[in-house]
Amino acid sequence: MPFLRSLTLALIALALLATSWLAWRDDRRARAPLDEFVTRYELDVRRPSDVAMLRLQPQADLGAVIVATMTLEDVYGSVRLHDLDAAARNAWIRSVSSTDARIGDAIDCELDAIARRPGWAFHESMLAQLAYTMSRRESPDAVVRDAKRWETASMAAIALAPGNLAARAFLGGVCLETWDRVSLRTPRLEVVRAALRSDAFVERSWSAVAALAGRDAAIELLPDDVEVLRLALAREAREGDVGAAGKLRTRLDASIRNARLRGLARLELLARRGDRMGLEQEIPAWLAANRLGEIDTIEGRREVSRVAALVPPMRRGQWPADPRARLLAHLLSGREREADGESLTRLAASLSSVPGPIEAKALAAGGEPFAARELLLASPTRGSFEWTPAVVAIARSFVERGDTARARSILEELAPAARDECDALLALRDAAEAPDRALFEGRIAAAAPRALPASAWSNSGSLALCVDPTTMSRARLSIALDAPEPALLSWGWQGGRAGSVVVRDRVTLNIPLAGLEGRVILNVHREAGGPVELGAATIQ
């Protein structure tokens, strides 16, 4: 029995050895055409790094993709001859006369590869590009004549790998080049619609799509994809079509909002399930995928605050590199009214090296003014301007507790020059004894004028306001604009973006002040169109 077992194992080993040797021999034979291709077209001289990659491929058919890629780069790419040595320069010059033959041989290599690995989308995709390139080099009539060759291969690549956007982008580009000359089996608008899912296609071909299909139709073809819509908007902004840019901005905002809400719903589902590990992975991903100030309305701020409330106890991160630091800084930048204070305190506690004023402000927002006060009193920079926002926040927290005496005491820590600033004056008034509050009203009125001249705007389109929530919560800011040409404007507070509008001629932009308090900065940015003159502003 031991002898038979040993004999059986030996026979199995010999069979496996023979199988491996046959597979190796077959692979070596399949590589021979690739090696001949490299030698014939001097690719080892012209593209040595690509040839090295070719020889590292584990299977011969994968090398055919490298061959096809080099061939296409020869046709559509460029080379700086004066940067090459004499041998490489002469090889490149000789290669010009063999381009058509090289494309034909590359097609043969891809056909062999498809036979060896049928059903692999990348081989079909490369075959389609090579076939189209060969016809395109021959003549426009050849492109029409051979349409079935490159279309069949393209559709096969798309069917085999529906998520391969490169194949869709290639067919979409060909469709644009042959717009009124070739009838495809798939309606051309559907081909373009599929291609517009590719960021690269939008960046490269949006102008052609808009010109051939019409801008309104082109916008309708775009998917509800944030990055694709963002690219299309950037292209329209460069080309100056304000109407199209306005429509794209509306679609982009809706897409951003939907994507944010889907991500937020996913986070809340993980929280309901108690999936702490899932939250630790998904929350940084949500923060990376979303620009926190992009939909900076009251509702948008509340959505960001909901994310902050879902952050589970995690490993401590480092300020300011950790994504939680960006979230905390965003919410503490004049957005505390929509934020959950306890969430801000937890975020600050989860980070190391948080600056003292920021940590104190987070503690005050979370209802811990005594802890915030201790941080202030222990700080070597106590009494400096950097502590002004934190001192005001601590005082407000004491006022909310009804402890106006401690609020007045903490406000004594303000830098003397900061006591006439907007936020400080509002806090001093709210903390003052009832008979003394009237003393601050005149100073607040001087710091919070309701009429601002055009000269109050900065060169970058920023306007500083002092908003008293007791008298301005239902007010609006009216801005006189002069736009000789149509323009798309975006506006927002504290570096965020809360809305957009298309303007022309002399118009008034009305912006509500609800949800604002203290010193705030309005930013007005022109996204597309001609210059806009920002005029006087009035709080009504």
Q: Are 47 and 70 in contact (CB under 8 A)?
A: yes
Lowest mean pLDDT among 12-16, 260-264, 319-323, 403-407: 12-16
Show me where the domains of the chain are located: 28-237, 238-354, 356-447, 451-539
Distance of CA 124 to the CA centre of its chain: 31
Q: 451-539: which CATH number, 3.10.20.90, 3.50.50.60, 2.60.120.260, 1.10.357.10?
A: 2.60.120.260
**Residue written as token pair 């199209």:** 244
* pLDDT surpasses 80 at 23: no
Question: 286 vs 270, 297, 304, 499, CA distance in Å?
Answer: 13, 19, 10, 22
Q: Is the pLDDT of residue 375 over 70?
A: yes
pLDDT of residue 300: 95
Question: 436 pLDDT exceeds 90?
Answer: no
CATH number of 28-237: 1.25.40
Chain mean pLDDT for the chain: 93
> Which residue blocks in 473-526 are alpha helix, DSSP H?
none
H helical segments located in 295-449: 298-310, 323-331, 341-349, 356-365, 369-378, 388-400, 404-411, 422-431, 437-447
Confidence check: pLDDT of 25 > 90: no
Per-residue pLDDT at 24 exceeds 80: no
pLDDT per residue as tens digits for the range 458-477: 999 999 999 999 999 899 99
pLDDT tens digits along 124-147: 999 999 999 999 999 999 999 999
Q: What are phi and psi of 126, to 5 degrees?
A: -65, -35
In terms of Cβ atoms closer than 10 Å to its own Cβ (0-12, 13-18, 19+), residue 58 is exposed
208 forms beta bridges with none
Nearest to 134 by CA among 94, 106, 172: 106
Residue 312 is encoded by which pair of tokens? Answer: 């589970």
